[in-house]
A = this chain, B = another copy of it.
Amino acid sequence: MGLVVHKFGGTSVAGPERLKAVAARLVAAQRSGTRVVAVLSAMGKTTDDLIALAHEISESPHSRELDMLLSVGERVSCALAAMAIHDLGHEAISLTGSQAGIVTDTAHGRAKILEVRGKRVDDALDQGKIVLVAGFQGVSTELEVTTLGRGGSDATAVALAAALGAEACEIYTDVDGVYTADPRIVPEARKLAALSYEEMLELSGAGAKVLMLRSVEFGRNHGVRIHVRSSFNDADGTWIVGQEELVEQPIISGIAHDTSEAEVTILGVPDRPGIAARVVRALADAGVNVDMIVQNVSAEGHTDMSFTVPKAEVGVAERVLGPIVAEIEARGLATDSEIAKISLVGAGMRTHPGVAADMFDALAEAGVNIGIISTSPIRISCVVPAADVERAVRAVHERFALHEPLVSGD
């Protein structure tokens, strides 16, 4: 009998009624003839509330204790869902991350899953039970409770699906699936039936919030078929699968945008080896997450080096880079927080060289000025003024006719 891992986010379990709906869905899945594992997030804003409580106690809560605290939210959801399933006449058991065998490293607050020891889950499934696993948490190799950081519950679900050899990992969320662009900006955006891991990775990395990078990566590395769908209806969502499964490969899958970053530029950098490495290493050591890095061709022995970092980390970046700018005798440092990044993603791009030109053209026609540009084989990203981002997304969506049912590649 096949196994499906189902994952429900905070909105999907936000109250008693929604939890009962989740229970009913899982019972239906079991009745349809599959073994059922469900990974649940904490109810609604529980995790935020717990973090706020911790900060009432301490300005910088001890990381081990913060994990002890935060891990309770998902346990509450799972125990309540198990009760609801029992009331429907089916057997269920809730397990903490530790009980479910989610073994992580010791990095509290951002632990990585090292291994899944699925025996207890397997035994419960063999007894005909629906197994509810608390997401976002595990037990470290030093036997401490850990949490996995942002997107942790998705990671739990995909890792369990891989370890248990699941047919699929169904990620229930508050959106219907992955769209060609954010429907709040482009009302005619189209839901994608399927896309490849690589495309989803690029979209997630470029700011699409539907699924975190780490889960997609894990899914790709272990061949887990992921189905992103709504918890509020039964409609098909978006499948994220290996490229070999995709019959028709569109040139362009979709557009992502991201307004969470700022641009930092070091002006007039002397053209000497080692400087770029120096800069990037210093930022990494300070915990600054550098995203796009662009350096222009050197002109007259000097060049400008730009990159984007999360807005919240601009201050740190400035502190770190100040002395370096002086030391390397660059001309200065400029930062701009009023920017946005727009990215066009599609596996078919590899064989269609005109895509970048079309994108830049569309932006120019819309009067949007392009700052930094960076590309991968299946993605083109442009930094544009923050005020222009919605116009930019709509212009590019329109240019590539992404609202039309299929832009088939060949």
Question: Using a CB–CB distance below 8 Å, which chain A residues touch chain B?
Answer: 16, 19-20, 50, 53-54, 56-59, 61-62, 64-66, 68-69, 72, 75-76, 78-80, 82-84, 86-87, 92-94
- Is B68 touching A54 in the complex (CB atoms < 8 A)? no
Q: Are the CB atoms of A87 and B58 closer together than 8 Å?
A: yes
With contact pairs A53-B80, A79-B66, A80-B53 given, residues A87 and B59 touching in the complex (Cβ less than 8 Å): yes
Contact (A57, B94) CB under 8 Å given A69-B79, A78-B68, A79-B66: no
Q: Other than A57-B84, A68-B79, give 12 A-B pairs with Cβ distance below 8 A.
A: A16-B57, A20-B57, A54-B79, A58-B83, A61-B83, A62-B86, A65-B80, A65-B83, A66-B83, A68-B75, A68-B94, A69-B76
Bound state CA distance, A142 and B68, in angstroms? Answer: 23
Chain B residues whose CB sits within 8 angstroms of the CB of A54 once the complex forms = 79-80, 83
Whole-angstrom distance between the Cβ of A63 and the nearest chain B Cβ: 10
Which residues on B sit within 8 Å (CB–CB) of A84? 57-58
Partner of A50, one of B50, B76, B86, B93: B76
In the complex the two chains form, what is the Cα distance from A78 to B62 in whole Å? 12
* Bound Cα distance from A142 to B10, whole angstroms: 31
Q: Which residue of B lies closest to A75 (CB)?
A: B72
CA distance A80 to B68 in the complex (A): 9
Selected A-B contacts with CB under 8 Å, 9 pairs: A16-B57, A50-B76, A57-B87, A58-B86, A65-B82, A65-B92, A66-B83, A68-B75, A68-B79
Min Cβ gap A80→B in Å is: 5
Chain B neighbourhood of A50, CB < 8 A = 76
Cα-based distance from A61 to B81 in the complex (angstroms): 10
Residues of B within 8 A of A94 (CB): 65, 68
A57 CA / B50 CA spacing, docked (Å):
22
Closest CB in chain B relative to A40 CB, distance in Å: 12
- A143 and chain B: residue at smallest CB distance: B99
Chain B CB count within 10 A is highest, among A16, A68, A72, A80, for A68
How near does chain B come to A370, taking the closest CB pair, in angstroms? 47
Q: A16 to B82, Cβ gap below 8 A? A: no
Shortest distance from the beta carbon of A105 to any chain B beta carbon, whole Å: 19
Contacts of A80 in B (CB 8 A): 53-54, 57, 65, 69
Q: Please report the C-alpha to C-alpha distance between residue A58 and residue B81 in the assembled complex, in whole angstroms.
A: 10
- Roughly how many angstroms separate A82 CA and B68 CA in the complex, as a whole number? 10
A69: chain B residues within 8 A (beta carbon):
75-76, 79-80, 83
A15 to B, closest residue via Cβ: B56
- The reply to whether A53 and B93 contact each other, CB–CB distance below 8 Å, is no
Residues in chain B near residue A93, CB distance under 8 A: 64
B residues within 8 A CB of A75?
Answer: 68-69, 72
Tell whether, in the assembled complex, residue A76 and residue B72 are in contact, meaning their CB atoms are under 8 Å apart: yes
The interface residues of chain B lying within 8 Å CB-to-CB of A65 are: 79-80, 82-83, 86, 92, 94
- Whether A16 touches B86, Cβ cut-off 8 Å, given contacts A64-B93, A69-B79, A72-B72, is no
Of A16, A64, A83, A92, chain B has the most CB atoms within 10 Å of the CB of A83
Contact among B20, B53, B83 with A16 in the assembled complex (CB-CB below 8 Å): B53
Known: A69-B76, A79-B66, A94-B65. A56 touches B86 (CB 8 A): no
Residues of chain B with a CB closer than 8 A to A53's CB: 16, 76, 80
Q: For A19, list chain B residues within 8 Å (CB).
A: 57
Distance between Cα atoms of A38 and B170 in the complex (Å): 43
Residues on the B chain within 8 Å of A20, using CB? 57
CB distance from A51 to the nearest CB of B (A): 12
Q: Which residue of B lies closest to A64 (CB)?
A: B93
Specify which of A66, A76, A79, A87 lies most central, judged by the most chain B CB atoms within 10 Å of its CB: A79
Of all A-B residue pairs in the complex, the 3 with the closest CB atoms, nearest first, are A72-B72, A69-B79, A68-B79
